[in-house]
Amino acid sequence: MESTTPFYRQSTRILAVILLAAWHHTGWTAETTTPRKKFIELGWDIPSTAELRESWREMEAATPFDGVMFKLEGKDGDGRQFTSEAIWDGRPWQRAWLEPALADLQSCRFSRFTDNFLRFNATPGNLEWPDEAGWTALAGKAGHVAWLMKQAGGKGLAIDFESYGAHQFKFDASKGRSFSEISALARQRGALFTQAIAREFPAAVLLTLWMNSINLQAGTSDDPAAILAHSGYGLLPAFIDGMLDAAPPAMRFVDGCENGYYLDSAEEYLRAAHAMRSWQGAAIRLVSPENRPKYRLQVQAGFGFYLDMFLNEATHRYYRGPLHGSRLARLERNLGFAHEAADEYVWIYGEQCRWWGKPLPLPATTGRGRLWEEAMPGITRAIAYVRHPAGAARDEIARLSTGGKLTNLAFNGDFSQPASPESGAPPARFETWQDGKTSAGKFAWEAKVGGGSAHAVRVKWGCFLQAHPVKPGEKYAVQAACLPRGKSHPTLIVRWQTADGRWTHESDDRTFVFSPDEPAVAAMEKPRLEPSANWRKAFAMVTVPPDTGKLVILLNVTGQATDQDECWFDDLGLYALGQ
C-alpha cells in the first residue's frame, strides 16, 4: 500500500533517527527537564571558604540568590599563599593543601544556595602555549579544585578567562609560529584542561564569565580566523573547542556573556541569546563542525548583570538612568529581560557595595562599600521578584499581614453578598460571561456553600469576572479557592484592559491552575473552607504591563455538560504589593 505521508515528513523522521543514533553512539545526552532559572552572586565581596563557613547562614537568609561564586585561599607546604584567583600559571599544587577548604565547605549546610561555584581566574595567564609542563600543572590544579567541588557538593567552576595579567589568549606573531599552529596547540590545551576536570567531576557545570560571546564579531565574518588573529581573545575559541573535545556527556558549559552588562532591551538580550545558542548563531560558527552538535547539547546561554550601572552617577561611563522616575525599576526590568533570555544562569556582579561581610574600603565611590540595601533601598525585593515572583509575593503578604497592613482590594471577595435577593442572581460586584455558541450554563450566588460562594453549572466555557483600576508597573497578588465536581475544569485567569475597557496586552494574559497542594496565605484563607471538602486554591503574582488601566480577574470554568458538573468559587483576594 502506497504511503500517504508527505515526503518531507518521512525525511524528517529519517533525520531524527539518524541524529538520535549518532547521539547514542557518541554518548551525548540532552537535558530531559527544564532547569530552574538561577541567580549567582559575584562581586568585590567575594567570600573565601573560611568566610563561607562563618557566614553562610546570614548570606542565605539576607540575600536573593541561588548561589555564590567564592574563592579558594590557602597555604602550600612552605607556608606560601595561593588562591584560585591567581591560578593560571605553571606552579603545581598538591591536593592535601585543599583539605582545610574542604572542611570549610563541608561545614556549610546550604539550603537555598544550591548552585555554588569556585572562581577560577585566567591570571596571571603567562603560560607559553608550547610549555607542556606548565599546561600539565594547570590541568592538575583544575582537577584538584574539581575534586574539591565534587566532595563539597558544589556545582562546578566559575571560569573567568579575562586577562587581568598577561594576555593568555591573544595571538603573538612575534613568537615565530602561525595563528593556525598556535590555535591547534590551544585546542590541545583546552582538552587537557577539561580532561582533568572530567576525571574528578564529570557532571560539573563550568560557568564561564564568557565563552564565544566575547568573539561574536568574528563569528559573523566570512573569515573568522582573519579577525581572531588580531583579537584580544582570538585563541579562546580554539581552547573552547578543545574543552568540547574532552567534555563527557554529563558536563555542562555556560557562556556567561559578560557583555550582558550593556544590554538594555528585551530584543538585545534575546538577540544575544540567539547568537550564543542557535545553529545559525555567531558563537557556533567559531566551533569546529564536528563539535557543533555537542555545543548545541551542552552549552547554555547565560548573562552577566552589572548592578553598579544603576548606582553610578550620571557622569559615569557605566550608567543607566531611571525608568518612570526610578532607577530600581529599570534594574528590575532589565534583570527580567536577562532572566527570560538565559537558559539557566544569570550572574549578578557588583563592585561598590556588598551583600555580606565587613564594609569595603571604598570611600570615594557612590556605594562607599555599604550594603547594597543601604545604597539602593528595595534592591533585594526587586531581585527577589524577578528570581521567584510567587515566592516573593508570599513573603511580602506574610510581612504585610503580620504588620496589619494587608488590605483585600477584591470586591465582595468573601462572596457573602448576592447581586440581588432574586433567585439565580450572581454574587454582588461580579459580572459573568460564557460562549453563547457552545455554552448555556448557569451562574449564581450560592448561600449554602462556604457561607456564600459563586456557583457555575453546565458551563462549557465561561467565567465570573471582576475588573480593578491599576497603573503600569504595579504588582499584585491574586488568590482564589474553588470546589469542583464532575467534569469541571476551573482556572484563575488574569487579563488586562485599557482604562476605557478595551482588551490589551493579550500576550501578557496569565492562567493559573487550582491545586489541592497550593499553600494558602493564612491571611487570605476563610476558616469555613474546610480542607475535607477538597477545596483547591490558586495563587498568582502579576505585574501590570505598560499602557494598561485595568486588571481583570476571571474565575474561569470549562468542560461542564450535565447538572452533576458544578464548580464553586470563593475566597477571592487581590493584594497590592510594594505599597
Residues 450, 349 share a domain: no
Give the pLDDT of residue 106: 98
Q: Which residue, 574, 413, 568, 573, is CA-closest to 482?
A: 568
C-alpha cell at 40: 549567582
Burial class (CB in 10 A: 0-12, 13-18, 19+), 178: exposed
418: in domain = no
432 vs 31, more confident? 432
In this prediction, residue 423 carries a pLDDT of: 81
- pLDDT band at residue 463 under the 50/70/90 scheme: very high
Phi/psi of residue 38, nearest 5 degrees: -135, 145
Binned at pLDDT 50, 70 and 90, residue 34 comes out as confident
- Residue indicated by cell numbers 540575600: 63
Rounded to 10 deg, the angle between the 49-62 and 99-106 helix axes is 20
Rounded Cα gap, residues 150 and 199, in angstroms: 11
pLDDT of residue 439: 86
- Domain containing 314 equals 12-387
pLDDT at residue 25 above 70?
no
DSSP H or E run through 17: helix 7-26
Q: Are residues 40 and 189 in the same domain?
A: yes
**Secondary structure (DSSP) of 496-547:** EE-TTS-B--GGG-EEEE-BTTPPPPGGG--TTS-GGGT-EEEEEEEEPPTT
Over 80: is that where the pLDDT of 452 sits?
yes
Q: Are residues 371 and 435 in the same domain?
A: no
pLDDT of res. 29:
45
Contact assessment for residue 69 and residue 158, using Cβ atoms and an 8 Å cutoff: yes
Q: Is residue 49 domain-shared with residue 187, that is, in the same domain?
A: yes
Query: Is residue 541 domain-resident?
Result: yes
Residue 211 has pLDDT above 50, yes or no: yes
Mean predicted confidence (pLDDT) in 429-441: 92
Residues 376 and 435 in one domain: no
Q: Which residues contact 376 (CB under 8 A, 6 or more apart)?
A: 307, 310, 311, 327, 328, 331, 353
pLDDT, tens digit (0-9, with 9 covering 90-100), for 502-536: 999 999 999 999 998 876 665 555 555 565 578 99
Distance CA 390, CA 147 (A): 37
Same structural domain, 539 and 450: yes
Mean pLDDT for the stretch of residues 159-187: 97
Same-domain status, 173 and 282: yes
pLDDT confidence of residue 533:
72
pLDDT tens digits, one per residue of 282-321: 999 999 999 999 999 999 999 999 999 999 999 999 999 9
In angstroms, rounded to a whole number, what is the distance separating the alpha carbons of residues 129 and 300?
28
Examine the domain organization and report whether 193 and 271 are in the same domain. yes
Identify the top-confidence range among 15-29, 77-91, 525-539.
77-91
C-alpha cell at 14: 529519517
Final residue of a domain: which of 360, 387, 414? 387
**Statement: residue 4 has pLDDT above 90:** no
**Are residue 379 and residue 435 in the same domain, yes or no?**
no
> From the CA atom positions of the chain, what is the Rg in Å?
28
Whether residue 381 is contained in a domain is answered as: yes
Neighbours of 160 (CB within 10 A): 23
Residue type present at position 321: G
- Give the pLDDT score at 528: 54
How many angstroms separate the CA atoms of 67 and 153, rounded? 12
- Of 335, 358, 387, the residue that ends a domain is 387
Q: What is the mean pLDDT of residues 44-69?
A: 97
**CA-based torsion, 461, 467, 472, 476: positive or negative:** negative
For the chain, how are helix, strand and coil distributed in percent, rounded to 5? Answer: 35, 25, 40
401 is a domain residue: no
Residue type, 392: A
Name the percent of the chain lying above pLDDT 90. 86
Taking only the tens place, the pLDDT of each residue in 332-369 is 999 999 999 999 999 999 999 999 999 999 999 999 99
Cell of 355: 551583600
* pLDDT one-digit tens code per residue, 313-334: 999 999 999 998 999 999 999 9
Q: Cα–Cα distance between 575 and 573 in angstroms, integer?
A: 6
Instruction: Classify residue 493: in a domain, yes or no.
Output: yes
> Residues 382, 450: one domain?
no
Using CA atoms, how far apart are residues 72 and 342, in angstroms rounded to an integer? 28
pLDDT at 405: 87
Segment 65-70 shows an average pLDDT of: 98
CATH classification at residue 370 = 3.20.20
Question: DSSP letters of 315-380?
Answer: TSSS----BTTBHHHHHHHHHHHHHHHSSSEEEEEESSSBSSSSPPS-TTSSSTT-BHHHHSTTHH
How many domains would you assign to the chain? 2
In a domain, 425, yes or no: no
Q: Write down which residue in 387, 412, 447 finishes a domain.
A: 387
Q: Which residue has the cell 545558542?
A: 277
Residues 442 and 326 in one domain: no
pLDDT of residue 8: 33
Residue written as cell 503580620? 402
**575 sits in which H/E element:** strand 566-577
pLDDT of the residue at 532 = 55
Residues 236 and 353 in one domain: yes
Is residue 472, in this structure, part of any structural domain at all?
yes
Amino acid 401: pLDDT: 87
pLDDT over 50 at 27, yes or no: no
Inter-residue long-range contacts of 14-19, CB under 8 Å, 24+ positions, other chains counted: 19/293
Helix (H, G, I), strand (E, B) or coil at 469: strand
Asked if residue 36 lies in contact with residue 60, where contact means CB atoms within 8 angstroms, the answer is no
Say if 412 falls within a structural domain: no
CATH number, position 486: 2.60.120.260
* Non-local CB neighbours of 172 within 8 Å, separated by 6+ positions: none
What confidence tens digit (pLDDT) does each residue in 243-283 have? 999 999 999 999 999 999 999 999 999 999 999 999 999 99
Residue 579 confidence (pLDDT) above 80: no
